[in-house]
Amino acid sequence: MIFSKKKCLQYGHFCVKLSQENDSRLILFDEIKYIVKNTINPILSASTECFMYSDGNTYGSFRPENYDILIKYQKKYKVDLEQNVFSGLEKFWGGGSKYEERGTILCIADANSILNELFFKQTYDPLFICNIGSGKSNSLVRYAKKTVEKDSSKVIFILRKDGLIHLPIFLSKSIIENYIEMALDTCQFSEKYLRVNNK
């Protein structure tokens, strides 16, 4: 696994892993509950808005109308953060083919309120992923980049529909380097992790 700081600075985002597994189908439910409690819960608690996007015109077999926390909002769904969005919904947040085939969720929060050493200590292996969005989710990536450049105090997290393996983090290019260094200093690392192109 290779990390390129140069590319992260160029594109304005980086990722951390939420599990040591490389396949969401291998994550056991006990680990899903741990990740939801220690990483997803703090993200949602710090978020001012969350939206769920589809990768096409439908969500496949997933039925958003079956979830009280999802409110139809234009062509996407808004997560009702006033409700209890954690208890009993671990499989929803877990995503991936083993749990719930939900859409991709975008969370907007204040960077200083969530991105700290305690947060990154719960994650693994900072890395760069180029192809975060596909199909209609490309609009999600464009929105994320536009939002953080418009307001440099914001951070956007992408909870991918394929499960809790990679967590993309979007930040303004004016502040992202500080948070990359924080992640590199405090994340947990696998034996195969490599750090390159950092100048």
SS3 158: strand
Residue range 120-136, pLDDT digits in tens: 999 999 988 876 654 44
Q: Which residues contact 55 (CB under 8 A, 6 or more apart)?
A: 103, 104, 134, 135, 136, 137, 161
SS3 128: coil
Output the six-digit token pair for 175: 């502040």
CA distance 51 to 42: 16
Within the chain, strands assigned E span 2-4, 13-17, 47-53, 70-73, 76-79, 104-110, 124-127, 154-159, 166-171, 194-196
The distance from CA 173 to its chain's CA centroid, rounded to whole angstroms, is 18
- On average, the pLDDT of the chain sits at 86
Residue predicted with more confidence, 196 or 40: 40
DSSP 174: T
Residue predicted with more confidence, 135 or 138: 138
pTM of the prediction? Answer: 0.91
The distance from CA 26 to its chain's CA centroid, rounded to whole angstroms, is 19
Q: Are 3 and 196 contacting, i.e. CB atoms less than 8 angstroms apart?
A: yes
